[in-house]
DNA sequence: AGCAATGTTATCATGTATGATAACCAACAA
DNA sequence: TTGTTGGTTATCATACATGATAACATTGCT
């Protein structure tokens, strides 16, 4: 259980969202729409350029039809 | 996979943190110290009176020595 | 060539999370 | 009584997430 820094944490989560989104064949636009926000904000999230709140991540998990814990199921975290 | 409202989401997460904290025999003070913040902020979090960022939740998971996905492993979410 | 789709960055206003301090309550021990 | 521990709430300043718009680059299609 090694602690990683904030930047790495955020990029890992962003990459995880991107992976799951692409697996479902959705564009950033599509996923953003399902979450009721703009594609620009999805781009920012996936790039790890923001520190999302749990409600934002929950909206994404719902749009991806997975559990919140699955969205954040990243080996290193 | 039913969508719940924000307030319920936050109280469920707060309760989850409290449960895990008490299971480890830690006071709010103890856990807050491990996370490098004040006990008042831990109280606020557990009460669901704030919408935590993922970095805050990550700090807590590290302090509790569990994975982030385990911290958020709540049936309904 | 134009055009639509996809994704990115910059920027802004507004709301709110965080970090901190102080005041308070309850339970309990000295 | 006094002091300690555990927890709560109110409040404040500062930083930043969110929601939104605009501008831009690519790619691929017609």
For the stretch B6-23, pLDDT in tens is 999 999 999 999 999 999
Nucleotides of C under 7 A from a protein CB: 5-11, 16-23
What Cα–Cα distance (Å) separates residue A6 from each residue in A12, A77, B7, B14, B58?
A: 10, 12, 26, 22, 9
Contact assignment for A51 to B55 by CB distance below 8 Å? yes
- The number of residues making up chain A comes to 77
Residue B70 Cβ < 7 Å to strand C:
no
Res B1: pLDDT:
63
A62 chain-B contacts, CB cut-off 8 A? 1, 3
What Cα–Cα distance (Å) separates residue A57 from each residue in A25, B21, B37, B71?
A: 19, 23, 23, 14
Res A2: pLDDT:
83
Q: How far is the CA of A4 from the C1' of C20 (A)?
A: 25
Res B33: pLDDT:
96
Q: How far is the CA of A41 from the C1' of D5 (A)?
A: 45
Q: How far is the CA of B76 from the C1' of D20 (A)?
A: 32
Global pTM reads: 0.94
Q: Which among B52, B53, B69 is the nearest to A72, CB-wise?
A: B69
- Give pLDDT tens digits along chain A (77 positions): 688 999 999 999 999 999 999 999 999 999 999 999 999 999 999 999 999 999 999 999 999 999 999 999 999 89
Contact between residue A46 and residue A18 where contact means Cβ atoms under 8 Å apart = yes
- Count H helices and E strands in chain A, helices first: 5, 0
CA of A32: nearest nucleotide by C1' is D19
Res B2: pLDDT:
83
- Give pLDDT tens digits along chain B (77 positions): 688 999 999 999 999 999 999 999 999 999 999 999 999 999 999 999 999 999 999 999 999 999 999 999 999 88
CB pairs under 8 A between A and B: 64
């Amino acid at each position: 259980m090694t602690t990683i820094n904030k930047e790495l944490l955020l990029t890992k989560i962003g990459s995880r969202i991107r992976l799951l989104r692409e697996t479902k064949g959705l564009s950033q636009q599509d996923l953003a729409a399902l979450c009721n926000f703009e594609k620009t904000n999805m781009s920012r999230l996936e790039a790890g350029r923001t520190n999302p709140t749990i409600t934002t991540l929950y909206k994404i998990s719902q749009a991806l039809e997975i559990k919140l814990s699955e969205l954040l199921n990243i080996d290193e975290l």
